[in-house]
Amino acid sequence: MIVIGGFLIGAVLGALTAKRRGGKRLDILQYAAGYAIAFTLLGLFATIFIDRMAR
């Protein structure tokens, strides 16, 4: 669940960042993809950490 949430939050933040900086449609998509990947990885590491601490 954390991974999916990270993906969605990252995509939205990336799109908003690119739009705020005056980017075109492809710029917005690229920022959304980049942020989504980064936040998904953070969510994955958080999930692994929480799972390891729970055991």
Tokens 């969605």, located at residue: 8
At 23, the pLDDT band (50, 70, 90 cuts) reads very high
What's the pTM? Answer: 0.91
At 55, the pLDDT band (50, 70, 90 cuts) reads confident
Separation of alpha carbons 5 and 55, rounded Å: 23
3-state secondary structure of 21: coil
Q: Render pLDDT for 25-45 as a digit per residue (tens, 0 to 9).
A: 999 999 999 999 999 999 999
Separation of alpha carbons 26 and 34, rounded Å: 12
For residue 51, count CB atoms less than 10 angstroms from its CB and return exposed for 0-12, middle for 13-18, buried for 19 or more. exposed
